[in-house]
């Protein structure tokens, strides 16, 4: 890493248009994170058509802003309404909502914003330091290593996803099949097109993502018919007191480290990081009995880890070209729309994107901190927006948005079909995340697998003979073993009951 | 007997997925499979289809708890009606552009799916349609299918 690269990144991120898109991303993310029914994947999916008409670095800067903005938006609803906007905010409910009931919602939200800022910035500096080193190393990786990395990503997401692991494997396999639709790039023959001219170019990922996460979510929530919610208790002063800061400082420091490390793992990101941080804080606390009853460390730690993990999960994407979770798969999709393929060469071929995006994370996190404190009260008013009004507008925007990417009404039908699939998946206990990730990783996985077979003369031993691939295989085996023997329920056993 | 059928109805999903897997495997076999040393275009689809089929069969055997499956309720028809409305919107969009389909979609959605009042539904439908036209057509310049309303109001290319 050269310091001039970092300065160049800030030069890119501080351009007025990029600052504007970072601001738009953070605000849109926060707003949508608060609104009922839409989480970070849905928000990013719905914004994908907009990324098509702006510069690549601006597009990713905006999407990154939505990512951490939406997580903070989810925190607001977790604390005030006991409604986690997405999985990473689930643990915040335990102590954050208890603080709200005690009239201390303000300090809970304030410490979340401060922790998120510190975690996000610490993690960004970690990325600035480590990402170039990983990219240098990744240049030496061959097809067998990429097969293992892609499988590791899918295995981890399947293992940690919200549905049963077997259902996640099924979801991923269907995603891999969908990724094969179109022309086989190696032989030039068509597959799964069934004579349709429209399918020859493959199924557009933007239409798939907007259907699975956007339409699917909206119709599912509309069926539930939940209306705008009412905030209970007083918000109180938002800036935490000196004692609050003292009680939270250790949790914030530990959360930054835990989040950064766990975010690097395939399948990692905010969810695992926040869970691990909560369990750690409870373990190291001198008063573990206070957890679940409004302990501020139980909010500060997970919120810090959540944002640190979300930030560091960009490393596998930017340096290896492997999205480690669903949101990053959508970022991958946004880059592909721009004609940019993420991977080890991104740092040399697209330095404006690589360094600009990293630098924008520092600025975006600062924006998040500065906006969150004065804007908490107006944002709370958004909680009351009725899903009925929101959904009718969002469906038209998504329809016209997906049409605008390629002026194709076929993509509107694709989005509708995947909306139905997303809705049915939610009704039947499947997680659409592994499917979306598999659609993105499918082409890389297949081409790397076939190249590996050609290289090795058809020997599957190629995945065990090369040191990096072998380490990957062992890591996958370890994850599966831990998942099988411990079971997911044990992860939650240390947490207090949500009463 | 009827109760027993209902209790096991959730297993249908694994069966359907297993059938999809078998169908995909049969299709993959119609493509050149090649060998492991020289993989053809059908090898990878075959591998994935086999894993899919085996996973679905494993789920069929292993899944004993129907709690994952949400029952069809009265409000499910709201979601189904929403999908049907969107299909009509796409057909309308292909035939007459943005204005009339978006006005009708927002109005019908709000009035009958969301049970908003006539006034709120009409107001939101009109205002939102104007905003959609300004944003997508005027500001972003998205080329839309021929739109009779815009042709009448603005003329020219619409």
Distance from CA of A262 to the nearest CA of B (A): 28
pLDDT higher than threshold 60 for residue A495: no
Query: Taking a C-beta distance cutoff of 8 angstroms, is the pair A442, A191 a contact?
Result: no
B20 CB-side CA count, 13 A = 19
Q: Do B142 and A404 touch (CB under 8 A)?
A: yes
For residues A282, A283, A285 and A287, what is the CA-based torsion angle, rounded to 10 degrees? Answer: 70
The phi and psi torsions of A435 (rounded to 5 degrees) equal -65, -45
Cα-to-chain-centroid distance, residue B156: 34
pLDDT-above-70 percentage for chain B: 92
Nearest CA among A159, A271, A206 for reference residue A63: A206
User: Are the C-beta atoms of residues A255 and A65 closer than 8 Å to each other?
Assistant: no
Q: What is the pLDDT of residue B101?
A: 96
Structure confidence at residue B19 (pLDDT): 96
Highest mean pLDDT among A396-410, B75-89, B141-155: B75-89
> Of the candidates B10, B35, B98, which has its C-beta nearest A400's C-beta?
B98
- What is the average per-residue pLDDT within A431-439? 88
Closest residue by Cα to residue A48 from A335, A429, A304, A375: A335
Question: How far, in Å, CA of A63 to CA of A47, rounded?
Answer: 8
CB B73 within 8 A of CB A184: no
Report the sign of the C-alpha dihedral through residues A247, A248, A249, A251, in that order: positive
Give chain B positions within 8 Å (CB) of A448: none
Contact A169 B102 (CB under 8 A): no
How confident is the model at residue A172, as a pLDDT? 93
Max CA separation in chain A (angstroms): 69
Residue among B55, B91, B121 with most chain A CBs within 10 A, to mutate: B55
- CA-based R_g, chain B, Å: 24
> Which residue, among A270, A290, A288, has the nearest Cα to A280 in the 3D structure?
A288
Contact B145 A186 (CB under 8 A): no
Given this model, what pLDDT does residue A497 score?
34
* Residues 6 or more apart whose Cβ sits within 8 Å of residue A86: A33, A39, A40, A70, A71, A74
- Look at A258-267, A376-385, A418-427, B99-108 and tell me which has the smallest mean pLDDT: A376-385
Confidence check: pLDDT of A336 > 90 = no
Residues 6+ apart with CB under 8 A from A356: A9, A12, A13, A18, A57, A61
* CA distance, residue A118 to nearest chain B CA (Å): 37
pLDDT band at A87 (very low <50, low <70, confident <90, very high): low
Q: So what's the ipTM on this one?
A: 0.92
pLDDT, one tens digit per residue, over A395-427 is 898 898 888 878 889 999 999 999 999 999 989
Structure tokens at A412: 């509107």
Weakest mean pLDDT among A218-222, A482-486, B73-77, B82-86: A482-486
Q: Residue A36: what pLDDT?
A: 58
Mean pLDDT over A321-338 rounds to 83
Question: Which residues, 6 or more positions from A465, have their beta carbon under 8 angstroms from its beta carbon?
Answer: none
Predicted model pTM: 0.82
Q: Look at residue A89 and tell me whether its pLDDT is greater than 80.
A: no
Average pLDDT value for chain A = 83
What DSSP state is assigned to residue A342? -
- Reply yes or no on whether the pLDDT at A271 is more than 80: no
Percent of chain A with pLDDT over 90: 21
> What span, in angstroms and rounded, lies between the C-alpha atoms of A180 and A199?
11
Separation of alpha carbons A230 and A82, rounded Å: 11
Most confident of A162-171, A228-237, B92-101: B92-101
Tell which of A393, A407, A435 to mutate to test the B interface (max B CBs under 10 Å): A393
Structure confidence at residue A40 (pLDDT): 75
pLDDT, tens digit, for every residue of A295-324? 999 999 999 998 898 888 888 888 888 887
pLDDT of residue A104: 86
Helix (H, G, I), strand (E, B) or coil at B80: helix
Q: How high is the pLDDT of residue A493?
A: 42
- pLDDT of A334 > 80? The answer is yes
What is the average pLDDT across A429-458? 90
> Over the stretch A362-384, which tens digit does the pLDDT of each residue have?
898 899 888 877 777 777 777 66
């Amino acid at each position: 890493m050269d310091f001039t690269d970092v300065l160049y990144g800030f030069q890119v991120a501080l351009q007025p248009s990029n600052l504007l898109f970072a601001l738009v991303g953070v605000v849109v993310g926060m707003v949508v994170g608060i609104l009922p029914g839409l989480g970070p994947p849905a928000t990013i999916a719905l914004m994908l058509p907009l990324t098509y008409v702006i510069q690549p670095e601006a597009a990713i800067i905006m999407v990154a802003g939505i990512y951490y903005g939406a997580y903070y938006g989810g925190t607001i609803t977790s604390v005030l309404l006991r409604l986690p906007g997405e999985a990473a905010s689930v643990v915040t409910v335990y102590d954050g909502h208890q603080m709200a009931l005690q009239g201390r919602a303000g300090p809970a939200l304030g410490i979340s914003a401060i922790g998120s800022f510190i975690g996000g910035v610490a993690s960004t500096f970690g990325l600035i330091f480590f990402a170039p080193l990983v990219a240098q190393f990744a240049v030496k990786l061959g097809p067998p290593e990429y097969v293992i990395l892609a499988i590791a990503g899918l295995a981890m997401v399947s293992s940690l996803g919200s549905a049963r692991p077997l259902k996640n494997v099924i979801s991923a396999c269907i995603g891999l099949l969908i990724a094969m639709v179109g022309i086989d790039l190696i032989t030039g023959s068509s597959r799964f097109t069934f004579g349709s001219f429209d399918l020859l170019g493959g199924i557009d990922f933007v239409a798939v993502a907007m259907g699975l996460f956007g339409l699917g979510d909206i119709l599912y929530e509309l069926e539930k018919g939940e209306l705008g919610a009412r905030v209970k208790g007083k918000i109180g002063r938002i800036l935490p007191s000196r004692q609050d800061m003292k009680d939270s400082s250790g949790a914030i420091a530990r959360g930054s480290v835990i989040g950064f490390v766990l975010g690097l793992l395939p399948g990692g990101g905010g969810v695992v990081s926040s869970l691990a941080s909560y369990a750690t804080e409870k373990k190291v606390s001198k008063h573990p009995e206070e957890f679940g009853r409004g302990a501020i460390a139980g909010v500060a730690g997970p919120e810090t880890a959540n944002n640190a993990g979300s930030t560091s999960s960009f490393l596998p994407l930017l340096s290896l070209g492997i999205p480690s979770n669903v949101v990053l798969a959508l970022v991958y999709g946004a880059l592909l729309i721009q004609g940019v393929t993420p991977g080890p060469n991104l740092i040399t071929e697209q330095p404006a994107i690589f360094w600009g995006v990293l630098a924008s994370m520092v600025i975006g996190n600062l924006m998040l901190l500065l906006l969150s404190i004065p804007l908490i009260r107006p944002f709370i008013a958004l909680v009351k927006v009725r899903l009925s009004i929101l959904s009718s507008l969002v469906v038209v925007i998504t329809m016209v948005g997906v049409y605008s990417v390629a002026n194709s009404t076929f993509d509107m039908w694709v989005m509708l079909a995947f909306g139905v699939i997303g809705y049915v998946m939610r009704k039947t206990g499947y997680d659409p995340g592994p499917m979306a990730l598999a659609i993105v990783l499918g082409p890389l996985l297949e081409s790397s697998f076939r190249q590996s077979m050609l290289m090795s003369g058809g020997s599957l031993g190629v995945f065990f003979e090369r040191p990096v691939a072998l380490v990957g295989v062992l890591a996958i085996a370890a994850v599966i073993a831990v998942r099988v023997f411990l079971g997911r329920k044990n992860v939650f056993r240390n947490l207090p009951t949500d009463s | 007997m009827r109760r027993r059928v209902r209790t096991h109805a959730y297993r249908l999903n694994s069966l359907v997925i297993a059938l999809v897997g078998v169908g995909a495997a049969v299709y993959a076999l119609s493509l050149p499979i090649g060998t492991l040393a020289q993989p053809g275009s059908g090898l990878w689809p075959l591998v994935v289809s086999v894993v899919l089929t085996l996973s679905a069969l494993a789920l069929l055997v292993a899944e004993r708890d129907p709690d994952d499956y949400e029952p069809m309720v009265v409000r499910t028809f709201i979601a189904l009606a929403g999908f049907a409305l969107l299909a009509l919107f796409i057909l309308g969009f292909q035939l007459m552009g943005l204005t009339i389909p978006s006005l009708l979609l927002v109005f019908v959605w709000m009035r009958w799916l969301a049970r908003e009042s006539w006034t709120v539904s009409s107001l939101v439908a009109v205002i939102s349609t104007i905003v959609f036209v300004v944003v997508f057509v005027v500001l972003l310049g998205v080329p839309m299918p021929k739109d009779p309303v815009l042709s009448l109001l603005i003329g020219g290319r619409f």
